[in-house]
Amino acid sequence: MDSMGPETSTQADTTDRETVISRVINAPRNLVFQAFTEVRHLAQWWGPNGFTTTTRTFEFRVGGVWEFVMRGPDGTDYEEWISWTELVPPERIAMLHGEYRGDPNAFESVLTFTPHGETTRIEMRTVFPTKELRDEAIEKHGAIEGGQQTLGNLADYVAEVARKGTED
Protein backbone atom coordinates (compact mmCIF):
# COMPACT_ATOMS: atom_id res chain seq x y z
CA MET A 1 0.00 0.00 0.00
CA ASP A 2 1.13 3.54 -0.63
CA SER A 3 2.28 5.66 2.27
CA MET A 4 1.81 9.38 1.81
CA GLY A 5 3.04 10.37 5.23
CA PRO A 6 5.14 9.12 8.09
CA GLU A 7 2.46 6.72 9.22
CA THR A 8 -0.58 4.95 7.76
CA SER A 9 -2.43 4.63 11.03
CA THR A 10 -5.73 3.27 9.69
CA GLN A 11 -4.11 0.03 8.51
CA ALA A 12 -2.02 -0.40 11.66
CA ASP A 13 -4.91 0.48 13.96
CA THR A 14 -7.20 -2.27 12.61
CA THR A 15 -4.77 -5.19 12.63
CA ASP A 16 -5.99 -6.58 15.95
CA ARG A 17 -9.63 -6.18 14.88
CA GLU A 18 -9.53 -7.71 11.43
CA THR A 19 -9.64 -10.99 9.56
CA VAL A 20 -8.46 -11.58 6.01
CA ILE A 21 -9.55 -14.53 3.91
CA SER A 22 -8.65 -15.05 0.26
CA ARG A 23 -9.07 -17.61 -2.47
CA VAL A 24 -8.25 -18.04 -6.13
CA ILE A 25 -11.41 -18.91 -8.07
CA ASN A 26 -11.37 -20.68 -11.41
CA ALA A 27 -13.62 -18.18 -13.20
CA PRO A 28 -13.23 -14.74 -14.79
CA ARG A 29 -13.49 -11.66 -12.58
CA ASN A 30 -16.71 -10.34 -14.16
CA LEU A 31 -18.49 -13.61 -13.38
CA VAL A 32 -17.17 -13.77 -9.81
CA PHE A 33 -18.27 -10.17 -9.22
CA GLN A 34 -21.68 -10.85 -10.81
CA ALA A 35 -22.29 -13.64 -8.30
CA PHE A 36 -22.64 -10.88 -5.66
CA THR A 37 -25.02 -8.67 -7.65
CA GLU A 38 -28.23 -10.69 -7.87
CA VAL A 39 -30.29 -12.72 -5.41
CA ARG A 40 -30.60 -15.63 -7.88
CA HIS A 41 -26.83 -16.06 -7.63
CA LEU A 42 -26.41 -15.37 -3.90
CA ALA A 43 -29.10 -17.90 -2.97
CA GLN A 44 -26.99 -20.62 -4.60
CA TRP A 45 -23.75 -20.12 -2.68
CA TRP A 46 -23.86 -17.58 0.19
CA GLY A 47 -22.90 -18.92 3.59
CA PRO A 48 -20.87 -21.73 5.10
CA ASN A 49 -21.44 -25.37 4.21
CA GLY A 50 -24.91 -26.61 5.11
CA PHE A 51 -26.47 -23.13 5.38
CA THR A 52 -29.30 -21.82 3.22
CA THR A 53 -30.07 -18.17 2.55
CA THR A 54 -33.55 -16.68 2.17
CA THR A 55 -33.66 -13.06 1.04
CA ARG A 56 -36.27 -10.62 2.35
CA THR A 57 -34.96 -7.41 0.72
CA PHE A 58 -32.23 -6.89 -1.84
CA GLU A 59 -31.05 -3.73 -3.55
CA PHE A 60 -27.51 -3.88 -4.91
CA ARG A 61 -26.45 -0.23 -4.98
CA VAL A 62 -24.52 2.06 -2.66
CA GLY A 63 -26.84 2.65 0.28
CA GLY A 64 -28.95 -0.36 -0.71
CA VAL A 65 -29.76 -3.09 1.75
CA TRP A 66 -29.77 -6.87 1.70
CA GLU A 67 -31.86 -8.36 4.50
CA PHE A 68 -31.83 -12.14 4.70
CA VAL A 69 -32.09 -15.16 6.95
CA MET A 70 -29.40 -17.80 7.02
CA ARG A 71 -30.60 -21.18 8.26
CA GLY A 72 -27.94 -23.37 9.80
CA PRO A 73 -27.68 -27.13 9.38
CA ASP A 74 -29.26 -27.52 12.85
CA GLY A 75 -32.33 -25.47 11.80
CA THR A 76 -31.30 -22.28 13.64
CA ASP A 77 -32.22 -19.07 11.82
CA TYR A 78 -29.77 -16.15 11.81
CA GLU A 79 -31.16 -12.72 10.89
CA GLU A 80 -28.64 -10.80 8.77
CA TRP A 81 -28.45 -7.27 7.38
CA ILE A 82 -25.97 -5.82 4.90
CA SER A 83 -25.73 -2.29 3.55
CA TRP A 84 -23.51 -1.74 0.51
CA THR A 85 -21.16 1.18 1.20
CA GLU A 86 -19.00 1.13 -1.95
CA LEU A 87 -19.32 -0.61 -5.32
CA VAL A 88 -16.60 -0.45 -7.95
CA PRO A 89 -17.56 -3.08 -10.55
CA PRO A 90 -15.87 -5.49 -11.05
CA GLU A 91 -13.02 -4.60 -8.64
CA ARG A 92 -14.38 -3.94 -5.17
CA ILE A 93 -17.38 -4.25 -2.86
CA ALA A 94 -17.54 -2.68 0.60
CA MET A 95 -20.33 -3.39 3.05
CA LEU A 96 -21.51 -3.00 6.60
CA HIS A 97 -22.79 -6.34 7.98
CA GLY A 98 -24.79 -6.87 11.14
CA GLU A 99 -27.83 -8.63 12.48
CA TYR A 100 -30.06 -5.58 11.93
CA ARG A 101 -29.95 -1.92 10.86
CA GLY A 102 -28.11 0.05 13.53
CA ASP A 103 -26.46 -3.04 15.07
CA PRO A 104 -23.64 -1.63 17.26
CA ASN A 105 -21.64 -4.82 16.64
CA ALA A 106 -21.86 -4.59 12.84
CA PHE A 107 -18.57 -5.09 11.03
CA GLU A 108 -17.16 -3.71 7.81
CA SER A 109 -16.01 -5.96 4.98
CA VAL A 110 -14.18 -5.09 1.79
CA LEU A 111 -13.99 -7.61 -1.01
CA THR A 112 -11.46 -7.14 -3.78
CA PHE A 113 -11.51 -9.04 -7.05
CA THR A 114 -8.15 -9.32 -8.81
CA PRO A 115 -7.90 -11.00 -12.21
CA HIS A 116 -5.20 -13.59 -12.81
CA GLY A 117 -5.64 -14.72 -16.41
CA GLU A 118 -8.82 -16.79 -16.47
CA THR A 119 -8.96 -16.99 -12.68
CA THR A 120 -9.82 -14.42 -10.01
CA ARG A 121 -8.30 -13.84 -6.61
CA ILE A 122 -10.91 -12.67 -4.14
CA GLU A 123 -9.88 -11.20 -0.80
CA MET A 124 -12.33 -10.52 2.01
CA ARG A 125 -10.96 -8.14 4.65
CA THR A 126 -13.27 -7.70 7.64
CA VAL A 127 -12.79 -5.13 10.38
CA PHE A 128 -14.74 -5.54 13.62
CA PRO A 129 -15.57 -2.67 16.01
CA THR A 130 -13.35 -4.23 18.72
CA LYS A 131 -10.71 -6.92 19.12
CA GLU A 132 -13.08 -8.73 21.49
CA LEU A 133 -15.82 -8.91 18.84
CA ARG A 134 -13.30 -10.21 16.30
CA ASP A 135 -12.07 -12.85 18.74
CA GLU A 136 -15.66 -13.87 19.57
CA ALA A 137 -16.51 -14.15 15.87
CA ILE A 138 -13.52 -16.43 15.33
CA GLU A 139 -13.78 -18.54 18.49
CA LYS A 140 -17.55 -18.77 19.04
CA HIS A 141 -18.90 -18.44 15.50
CA GLY A 142 -16.06 -19.95 13.44
CA ALA A 143 -15.68 -16.82 11.30
CA ILE A 144 -12.46 -17.91 9.58
CA GLU A 145 -13.64 -21.41 8.72
CA GLY A 146 -17.10 -20.12 7.78
CA GLY A 147 -15.58 -17.46 5.53
CA GLN A 148 -13.34 -20.04 3.85
CA GLN A 149 -16.32 -22.32 3.30
CA THR A 150 -18.36 -19.43 1.89
CA LEU A 151 -15.61 -18.54 -0.61
CA GLY A 152 -15.35 -22.26 -1.43
CA ASN A 153 -19.08 -22.35 -2.16
CA LEU A 154 -18.67 -19.25 -4.34
CA ALA A 155 -15.78 -20.92 -6.18
CA ASP A 156 -17.80 -24.07 -6.83
CA TYR A 157 -20.84 -22.09 -7.98
CA VAL A 158 -19.09 -19.76 -10.44
CA ALA A 159 -16.88 -22.55 -11.79
CA GLU A 160 -20.03 -24.54 -12.57
CA VAL A 161 -21.70 -21.49 -14.17
CA ALA A 162 -18.55 -20.89 -16.25
CA ARG A 163 -18.41 -24.55 -17.34
CA LYS A 164 -22.05 -24.55 -18.38
CA GLY A 165 -21.77 -21.15 -20.05
CA THR A 166 -25.19 -20.25 -18.63
CA GLU A 167 -24.36 -16.73 -17.49
CA ASP A 168 -27.05 -14.35 -18.72
Written as one string, the DSSP assignment of 24-47 is EESS-HHHHHHTTT-HHHHHHH-S
Confidence tier at 12 by pLDDT (50, 70, 90): low
27 lies in some domain: no
pTM of the model: 0.87
**Helix or strand or coil: residue 3?**
coil
41 lies in some domain: no
Question: Could you report the per-residue pLDDT of 106-164, keeping only the tens digit for each?
Answer: 999 999 999 998 899 999 999 999 999 999 999 999 999 999 999 999 999 998 998 88
pLDDT score recorded for residue 2: 44
Q: In percent, how much of the chain has pLDDT > 90?
A: 83
Question: Total domain count for the chain?
Answer: 1
Q: Among residues 43, 36, 44, which one has the least CA distance to residue 164?
A: 44
156 lies in some domain: yes
- The strand pair at 18-25 and 77-88 is best described as unpaired
